[in-house]
Chain A
Amino acid sequence: MATAATAPENGLPATPESVVVRFAGDSGDGMQLTGGQFTLSTALAGNDLATFPDFPAEIRAPQGTLFGVSAFQINFGSREINTAGDAPDVLVAMNPAALKVNLAALKPGGLIIADTGAFTKRNLDKAKYDANPLEDDSLAQFDVLAFDISEKTIEAVKPFGLGNKDALRSKNMWTLGLALWMFDRPREPIHDWLKAKFKSKPDIADANIAALDAGHAYGETAELAGPLKQLHVDPVPSAPGLYRTVTGAEAVSLGLVAGAQLAELPMFFGGYPITPASAILHHLARLKEFGVTTFQAEDEIAAVCAAIGASYAGQLGVTSSSGPGIALKTEAIGLGIMTELPLVIVNSQRGGPSTGLPTKTEQSDLYQAVYGRNGDAPMPVIAASSPSDAFEVAIEACRIAVEYMTPVMLLTDGYIANAAEPWKVPDPSTFTPFPAKFLDKPNAVDDEGGETFLPYKRDEKGARPWVKPGTPGLMHRIGGIEKHELTGNIDYSPDNHQRMTDLRKGKVEGIAVPDQEVCLGETSGKLAVVGWGSTFGPIHRAVDNCRRAGLDVSHIHVRHIWPLPANLGELLRGFDHVLVPEMNTGQFKTVLRDQFLVDAEPLTKTSGQPFQIAELEAAIGKYFDGIEGNEGGQVAVNDDQLPSPQGGAE
């Protein structure tokens, strides 16, 4: 949303508060790379930002096809940015398919930059265009800047003696160069990055740098009438300190490393490749000096089992996957609950059911996380609300696992895993350690007054002792069969099972969870919008906008999904209405209704895309229809803007 800070003229103002740019091209066009580097330059320019990589599940989809389009959207600005933006102001379309797939999202009056060199008959056919949209008036409501980027790239890299095919690979850098000029960005960081990336192939580095410079020079020197002009987005005022960009997958990995250090434990990570969770395995595989062992197992089941085996032997066992893989791990998670061993399970959720939408985002594994096991198998569940929040949440997951001797599930999703945002680098010396305690001597007295060891005797938190094999005198056996409440020996007796069920339930329900705070607005009133996970950004912005329009609405964002904060029910009862937007069919809504008997109302979306701010504003507006404060139409009810209850809105 380009909010005018100065008077708009033909599209964007010269100094917009925020701009949304979407780079779109073929899977092989390097759009994710372009977006990533543009993100870096944006961060270096001091803007706040949020990104949304949107790519197909196919690695190399057939060239030029509609399903092979890969896009990267970035929203950046001189004010706080909460989402990757509803509608792009600028669409860079590297081929006809990219234009076709992304045009509907573009803001009316938005700018299209298109590579005419790729708008060939063949590519137009593949994109199912009957006529070249750049040559008819079908794009009349937009500003169009079309020129032959392919040809200009070939020209720019000519001195390096590359064939046409190789030369065209630098097209994305030419485009990035133009974008850097457009937003008044230095090229040096990208130069440095290219030199480092192609260290062993200096020719390729030079060719890419030449393409980047040529794109930049084109913007600077070409007499471009109308749409293309240089824009400057001011830095956002932010707290002093060291910053970097971080994706959710990076933040989870770093948080786990930090968590293991705070627990004073080596970490064992068992993983199996799955989209979009693999990035965590990749990050951790490079952090072995931090006492991290990564184990790529033969399957999801072995990954979690090995992690539990490592926890049994005294390390911090961690596993990670996405919905289908979590389903496979479920039986082993039950064993972790039964044997009361620490374990962190990261679920980077994706669209489901079954294989579903591997590269798209959804929040539909909440029931799976909270309820999805055989038997009464309580397990704490916490959710990250943004890429940077995932760092803290990962530490919290480690803390709960170690202090309460329990598996913990950490929920992120495809959006958080892949999206990047600026992150103020935290100072580890400010973290509170929670060193793991291993029992190394008897913990009880027997009938004759002698020392004895009870493997299931609990501490004040309800946690049983952690005893490493190798400890003299404390040999014992554990397993998945119901066990005696103190000795841990097999015990099927009715009273004992009743007590053990109660103890396991009580332990998890008794986990210390901070009281729920209201992150925006009052602690009571007309409407509370209650979210969890990656919907934080759009909800926060929508509630903020509505509050500025005078509506009595608050934003509550829940991190601790299970157990829920003790005050949450009371808090929700202070509002006339509770609206729960979720990227599923209403799972958290059901939990809230069940736990607190509140009339939580669902707002659901399952299109594989994050909520748009406008969708949420429209949903909020509905509660204020005809009410004072909703005049002026800022958030007037518009049913067209609401996502359909069945999803598939996009």
Chain B
Amino acid sequence: MNAPVKIETTLKDWETDQEVRWCPGCGDYAILKAVQRTLPQLGADPKNTVFISGIGCSSRFPYYVESYGFHTIHGRAPAFATGAKLANPDLDIWLVTGDGDGLSIGGNHLMHVLRRNVNMQIMLFNNEIYGLTKGQASPTSREGTKSPSTPIGSYDHPARPAAFALGAGARFVGRGFDVSKHLPDVLKAAHAHKGAAFIEIFQNCIVYNKDVFHDFAAPKGAEDQQLWLENGKPMLFAKDTKGITLNREKLCLEVVDVVDGDWESAGVIVHDVTNRSIAHMLVEMPFGPFPMALGVLYDDPRPTFEDAVIAERAKASEGKDANLAKLLGKGQTWTVSGTAQDPV
């Protein structure tokens, strides 16, 4: 990607003339606003910005952003985005998917776009339910979720999007939630990361799965259950009265009390966004005994897929003449001239 030219825009410039069709009160509105607020701060250029989505409530997103947009088919957005990025690496691609789209029907593509490390921002709106099809249990629904398809309660074990992403080889894993004022910061960090940046965004489906994240994502009063991670800063939460430490014997994380702000003597560890082992622990950290890890959990770039493809194409083309006539006449040929036939 060429050094992008920063463009001055306002939130209004990123709004389309289309009527937004999410349910009133849906968490998607907040995410849309957060994105539209973030884009001007990034200096993003509408003509080079592309929102690509699959199918589901979240995937209506591109219609509402004044940029290029492609609303594709269920689960396959990562594959479309990969093709578009390889065709034009200068495009700034934002992928919009959900827990059903990205982890159920599209789990395979999500895995591969992450392991290949195609440079784009992947926003997975996790509401733990199928909204657009009227409320069936999704792969992230908690065990026991009652829904039209699971009237007695679901019994399959939920997938963890951030753990899935990291396991698939993601080099950036971030987390936020719809109404969080920090969400734009996570989006900005994801955008700054060169490579596939995965962001799990907890999103409140007020119709089919209302307030399932209330314990840590309520607009007010849940702050103590949020662990906002910052690189180089101690892992503190609950107004710095608690922190996360590493039990070096059991190799696991633990919550410790922090007295009078003395986190060092409490053994609270400092967040290093490039520490993959700790990142694995953070994405697996169960909510309840632990706070919800939010912010940038992991950020350690490595070469992107499109750069590798371009480099390979250049290497393969080196010293070669792209002459179609020569290509067609390649291999073992012979010439017919009158009656004589000679190999050439």
Contacts and interface: CB of A to CB of B under 8 A. Distances in A.
Interface of A: 40, 43-46, 189, 193, 235, 237-245, 254, 257-258, 261, 266, 268, 270, 286-291, 293, 295, 297-299, 301-303, 305-315, 317, 331-332, 334-335, 339, 425-429, 468-481, 489-490
B329 A425 contact: yes
B16 to A, nearest CB: 7
Given A46-B336, A308-B83, A470-B91, A480 B344 contact: no
A469 B91 contact: yes
Contact of A288 (B18, B76, B87, B316): B316
Given A238-B336, A313-B83, A480-B71, A471 B47 contact: yes
B234 to A, nearest CB: 40
A40 B86 contact: no
Contacts of B109: 298, 301-302, 305
A309 B324 contact: no
A302 B80 CA distance: 8
B82 to A, nearest CB: 5
Interface stretch (B59-67, B182-190, B191-199, B291-299): B59-67
A472 B80 contact: no
B67 A309 contact: no
| Interface size grouping (class) on chain B | 35 or more
A312 B70 contact: yes
Interface string B71-92: 1111010111111111110110
A475 B329 CA distance: 44
Contact of B83 (A305, A335, A468, A489): A305
Contact of A242 (B72, B73, B333): B333
Given A305-B76, A312-B70, A295 B87 contact: no
B328 A290 contact: no
A241 B335 contact: yes
A300 to B, nearest CB: 10
Nearest to A319: B83
A193 B343 CA distance: 13
A469 B18 contact: no
Contact of B112 (A289, A302, A307): A302
Contact of A305 (B80, B85, B343): B80
A243 B335 contact: yes
B322 A310 contact: no
Contact of B317 (A268, A289, A474, A479): A289
A450 B253 CA distance: 62
A140 B336 CA distance: 43
Given A299-B108, A469-B84, A490 B334 contact: no
A427 B317 contact: no
Contacts of B73: 305, 331-332, 334-335, 480
A289 B316 contact: yes
Interface string B291-315: 0000000000000000001001100
Nearest to B309: A293
Given A189-B343, A309-B82, A469 B71 contact: no
Contacts of A479: 62-63, 69-72
Nearest to B17: A489
Nearest to A287: B327
B74, B87, B333 — most chain A CB neighbours (10 Å):
B87
20 contacts: A43-B332, A189-B332, A237-B339, A243-B335, A243-B336, A257-B324, A288-B317, A289-B317, A289-B322, A295-B83, A298-B111, A301-B79, A303-B79, A309-B81, A311-B87, A313-B85, A428-B324, A428-B328, A479-B62, A480-B72
B338 interface: yes
Given A266-B87, A317-B83, A478-B71, A469 B48 contact: yes
Contact of B313 (A241, A293, A428): A293
A309 B53 CA distance: 12
Nearest to B61: A477
Interface string B11-23: 0000010100000
B329 A309 contact: no
Contacts of B330: 244
A309 B335 contact: no
A315 B88 CA distance: 9
B322 A291 contact: yes
A475 B15 CA distance: 12
Nearest to B115: A298
A239 B336 contact: yes
A242 B70 contact: no
Nearest to B65: A477
A237 B338 CA distance: 9
Contacts of B309: 293, 295
Contacts of A288: 312-313, 316-317
B325 interface: yes
A359 to B, nearest CB: 24
A313 B67 contact: no
Contact of B63 (A245, A289, A428, A490): A490
A40 B332 CA distance: 8
A425 B314 CA distance: 28
A268 B83 contact: yes
B94 to A, nearest CB: 12
A570 to B, nearest CB: 37
A470 B245 CA distance: 47
B83 A270 contact: yes
Given A240-B336, A306-B82, A477-B16, 16 more contacts: A240-B337, A242-B329, A244-B332, A291-B322, A293-B309, A298-B111, A305-B76, A306-B83, A313-B84, A313-B88, A315-B87, A335-B73, A471-B47, A477-B69, A479-B69, A489-B18
A452 B110 CA distance: 37
B299 to A, nearest CB: 25
B336 A310 contact: no
A235, A305, A477 — most chain B CB neighbours (10 Å):
A477
Contacts of B63: 477, 479, 489-490
Contacts of A317: 83
B83 A43 contact: no
